[in-house]
A and B are shown apart, each in its own frame.
Chain A
């Protein structure tokens, strides 16, 4: 289980759910005559009954709705933000239901127990498909069976004489056919069948195929609607200016009257840690709020999370590097201390990786509308609607079921839209909408987003390893110093800090991995592939150092250390083959440039990944030409989406390796927009070659696992080419020798 799952899982987790016919129970929140299927939650009967009593229209309590016109609407427990989940779910349900995925309309389901597969609900940890695969198949299969039964009753024929083809029930003997739409109302009156046989994998028509994505045409024509695009009747617009340092509160507003008189300004508001202006247009609200001359108070000495005036990332890095171990143990095998003592050679190195912002292209926003009946509607980007609903209810001071959460598609997320302290705009929007008595749309400018995003942590990793006389590693001791997101008790290492450092597959007999916990005053968040995003860089970079110190080729050393790990070995061989056979270099490419290659492996989110990168140096900077990725997620649903997600992950991993770094000086982030925090541009994008290996292992994740292998593969290639071992990212901090 990865860090995010650990974070989200609660004790009421239960694995096995059966489909239940919600339309029969009077659960119908959808059109009449629709067959509506949900999933029964063992041990949750009381809550299900409670839910049934909620006034109609408050919630749509179903996954699948087959409308009388034959259209299929699917309520997704997961939010679409580019990862292709809506299409994958349509493929999975459509496969069993016998409906072409292209005819699905998929929406993000509202909060509620019906959608908490496994007892909780969030989009993240690269787990959407794998955690719902069985349930979604069974939903589709049960619905198909009910349609068959309804047709059998209508035609007065045994079910066994009937079959289906996409969208309809057929009677092959007579050629008679009834569309699903015609049968939906009758099917809705039937009990949900139990133990319906699932389609044999060999008969799959859509699962495993590169089905076209459902949202691509709208997104190519500007028609997809994100939260920032939502309009509500009578709404005003709001912009905020946050305390420059967290913990400050607004004191005097020197020019309040002048700003109040600015064109279009409706009102000025003091909020916790921020000031806001509400106006008729967002542009005017923003101009006004930025014109406000605010004197910010210094945080009281014990204010939680306060950002000190002297905080800098450089000082933090030094502090972490020298923080004493041994830390909280995350993994221990053999006797690393003794093995290091007896080693022919000891290699030591310290690595670090910087704070990062998510940089999703859609800035955060929220539309809040208080209704006359005291209920609240919120449109907001979120990866966990139930959690947001609960917190919104607390902020609003109303019952949770009186908050309606609308979850439009996300303009990128990468971990940005979990709930983080002070990092989500919705509490401000709720307060502003109440204060002005009208709906309010609040957008954080990109500059405010840079100030309040929950960052990928800065972590330092200290390595010591022992080599034997043959130059093979016999012991490795790792201390990861710093902090990460998560809620583990103080005496437990954070999963988000040690994942990807502990439990590596390599046959190193003596090993220890520990977390030296040093909290610091930055709001930390989950960033695409979380701890793996930097830990693969640390570990796989250091492993190349061991190979060099021991006189081994890094690819050969990995193969040797994976001798007893057939899955990893196969994957490493696959990426070698994909790249035309392993060659480290340096070598001269066809265009005359000197190049080299680096390799790295990672095991993120129950998938296995092997990555090779080819680099050269141009004008003192690293250029990445090709990246080859072999990924083994066990089994897959849509190879085109897998390839797109791996390519996207390569871009983000490479961006972090080459360019990205949040620098704090004097308690302030130095970059407040993409001018001083560049991310990967088109001209920096390498060719990406993906090979999917389906080993048949339990299904792993897809959205994130492509990230972690890229930074170490690139850094290892740079070391092979230049002899310079980079232990601190990003690479743009280093000026390399070399010409075009």
Chain B
């Protein structure tokens, strides 16, 4: 048994050592907003926030997150910055297929919480999640808009 804190709720989960946080979130806790894309930390579809840091949950073993606060996309509206990011995403009509967007929104939220007025370099350095649909320019526009928000 491992106890983890997801979106402010403690869960005692029966997970094997080494099991990635992604699969605990999706298949044990049933929160499917966090996506599986590559499983090797390349794409960012599985991004969650751990103590506010954007983290690729597919390569995060469950035992490493004990005592830390994990935030998934399901809790995005509990956070004022998260809400602003979602509104900016809607205003810029960012998503296409949408599959990468949970991760993109969380990465943007983490960025704006750390630097409310990010420079272009900040955006480039931190918004590294991949999007096969090529929504990158809309993502940058939405981040800028949320920063002004």
Contact A682–B127 (Cβ < 8 Å): yes
Closest Cβ neighbor of A686 among chain B residues: B137
User: Does A481 belong to the interface (CB within 8 Å)?
Assistant: no
CB-based nearest A residue for B123: A682
Among A83, A685, A687, the residue within 8 A (CB) of B96 is A83
Whether the pair B77, A221 counts as a contact (CB closer than 8 A) is: yes
Asked if B98 is at the interface (CB within 8 A of a chain A CB), the reply is yes
A681 on interface, CB distance cutoff 8 Å: yes
Q: Is A640 an interface residue (CB 8 A)?
A: yes
Complex contact B39–A682 (CB within 8 A): no
Residues of A within 8 A of B130 (CB): 361, 674, 679, 681-682
Enumerate chain B residues within 8 angstroms of A231, measured Cβ to Cβ: 30, 32
Given the complex, which residues of B lie within 8 Å of A682, measured CB to CB?
124, 127-131, 136, 139-140
The distance from the CB of A587 to the nearest CB of chain B, in whole angstroms, is 24
Alpha-carbon gap, A673 to B40, bound state (A):
8
Q: Report if A411 contacts B (CB, 8 A).
A: yes
Q: A237 to chain B: which residues have CB within 8 Å?
A: 27
Q: Are B128 and A681 in contact (CB under 8 A)?
A: yes
A-B contact pairs, 27 of them (CB 8 A): A81-B97, A212-B93, A213-B95, A215-B95, A216-B89, A217-B90, A220-B98, A221-B76, A222-B105, A225-B32, A282-B23, A283-B19, A284-B16, A360-B99, A360-B132, A362-B35, A412-B96, A412-B99, A445-B39, A644-B138, A647-B134, A651-B133, A652-B134, A655-B134, A674-B130, A682-B139, A688-B137
Q: What's the Cα separation between A421 and B51 when bound, in Å?
A: 46
Q: Binary interface profile of B, 90-116, with partner A (CB < 8 Å = 1, else 0)?
A: 100111111111100100000000000
The distance in angstroms between the C-alpha atoms of A275 and B23, with both chains bound, is: 22
CA distance A261 to B102 in the complex (A): 36
Residues of A within 8 A of B55 (CB): none
Is the pair B136, A651 in contact by a Cβ cutoff of 8 Å? yes
Give Cα A413–Cα B138 distance, bound, in whole angstroms: 20
Do B42 and A673 touch across chains, with their CB atoms under 8 A apart? yes
Candidate in B32, B127, B132 with the most chain A CB atoms within 10 angstroms: B132
Given the complex, which residues of B lie within 8 Å of A216, measured CB to CB? 89-90, 93-95, 98
Most B CB within 10 A of own CB, among A361, A674, A681 = A361
Instruction: Return chain B residues, CB-CB under 8 Å to A263.
Output: 16
List 19 extra interface pairs beyond A82-B96, A220-B98, CB under 8 A: A215-B98, A216-B93, A218-B98, A220-B101, A221-B77, A223-B33, A228-B36, A229-B32, A231-B30, A359-B132, A360-B99, A361-B43, A363-B36, A411-B98, A446-B38, A446-B39, A651-B134, A673-B38, A674-B42
Asked whether A650 is an interface residue with its Cβ less than 8 Å from the other chain, the reply is: yes
List 10 A-B pairs, minimum CB-CB distance, nearest first: A651-B134, A222-B33, A219-B98, A82-B97, A411-B99, A222-B73, A82-B96, A219-B95, A229-B32, A220-B89
Residues of B within 8 A of A370 (CB): none
Bound together, the chains give a CA A726 to CA B75 distance in angstroms of 49
Q: How far is the CA of A684 from the CA of B129 in the complex (A)?
A: 12
Alpha-carbon gap, A237 to B130, bound state (A): 27
Check A491 for interface membership: any CB of B closer than 8 A: no
Interface residues of A in 223-270 (CB under 8 A from B): 223-226, 228-229, 231, 237, 263-264
User: Which residues of A lie under 8 Å from residue B76 when comparing CB positions?
Assistant: 221-222
B52 at the interface (CB under 8 A from A): no
Question: Given the complex of chains A and B, what is the CA–CA distance between A263 and B30 in angstroms?
Answer: 20
Q: Is the CB of A648 within 8 A of B137?
A: no
For A222, the chain B residues whose CB sits under 8 A away are: 32-34, 72-74, 76, 101-102, 105
User: What is the chain A residue whose CB lies nearest that of B88?
Assistant: A220
Tell me whether A82 and B23 are in contact (CB under 8 A): no
Q: Which partner residue on chain A sits nearest B127 by CB separation?
A: A682
Query: Is A282 within 8 A of B27, CB to CB?
Result: yes
A-B contacts, CB under 8 A, total: 170
Of all chain B residues, which has the CB nearest A652?
B134
| A668 contacts chain B at the CB level, 8 A cutoff | no
Question: Across the interface, which residues of B come within 8 angstroms of A675, CB to CB?
Answer: 40, 42
Interface class of chain B by DSSP: loop
Assess whether B23 is in contact with A283, with CB atoms less than 8 Å apart: yes
**Given A219-B98, A222-B76: A685 touches B136 (CB 8 Å cut-off):** yes
Q: Which residues of the partner chain A approach B139 to less than 8 Å between Cβ atoms? A: 682
Judge if B147 is at the interface, Cβ distance under 8 Å. Answer: no
Residue interface bits B36-74, CB-to-A below 8 A is 1, else 0: 111110110100000000000000000000000000111
Question: Are B86 and A361 in contact (CB-based, < 8 A)?
Answer: no
Q: Is A108 an interface residue (CB 8 A)?
A: no
Is B2 engaged at the interface, CB distance under 8 Å to the other chain? no
| Binary B-proximity of A261-304 (CB < 8 A = 1, otherwise 0) | 00110000000000000000111100000000000000000000
Contact between A640 and B137, CB atoms less than 8 A apart:
no
Which residues of chain B come closer than 8 Å to A497, judged between CB atoms?
Answer: none
With an 8 A cutoff between CB atoms, is A346 at the interface?
A: no
Contact in complex: B33, A362 (CB < 8 Å): no
Q: Is A443 close to B, CB under 8 A?
A: yes
Q: When the two chains form their complex, are residues A685 and B134 in contact, meaning their CB atoms are under 8 A apart?
A: yes
In the assembled complex, which residues on chain B have CB atoms less than 8 Å from the CB atom of A284? 16
Question: Shortest Cβ distance from B41 into chain A, in angstroms?
Answer: 9
Closest to A684 in B: B136
Q: CA of A644 to CA of B33 in the docked complex: distance in angstroms?
A: 23
C-alpha gap A561/B30 in the complex (Å): 60
Instruction: List A contacts of B128 (CB < 8 A).
Output: 681-682
Contacts of A679 in B (CB 8 A): 130, 132
Q: How many angstroms between the C-alpha atoms of A683 and B135 in the bound complex?
A: 12
Neighbouring A residues of B131 by C-beta, 8 Å = 361, 651, 682
Contacts of B140 in A (CB 8 A): 682
The answer to whether A411 touches B35, judged by C-beta atoms less than 8 angstroms apart, is yes
A652 CB contacts on chain B under 8 angstroms:
132, 134
Please determine whether B137 and A647 come into contact, CB atoms closer than 8 angstroms: yes
Give the residue name and chain of the B residue nearest to A223 (CB): B33
Residues of B within 8 A of A650 (CB): 134
- Chain B residues 6-33 with CB under 8 Å of chain A are 16, 19-20, 23, 27-28, 30, 32-33
Chain B contacts for A445, CB-based, 8 A: 39
Q: Is the CB of B132 within 8 A of A361?
A: yes
Query: B94 and A409: CB pair below 8 A?
Result: no
Whether a CB of chain B sits under 8 angstroms from the CB of A693 is no
Considering only CB atoms, which chain B residue lies closest to A230 in the complex? B32
How far in angstroms is the closest Cβ of chain A from B54? 14
A410 interface residue per 8 A CB criterion: yes
Is A412 in contact with B97, judged by CB distance below 8 angstroms?
yes
A680 an interface residue at 8 Å Cβ cutoff? yes
Contacts of B33 in A (CB 8 A): 221-223
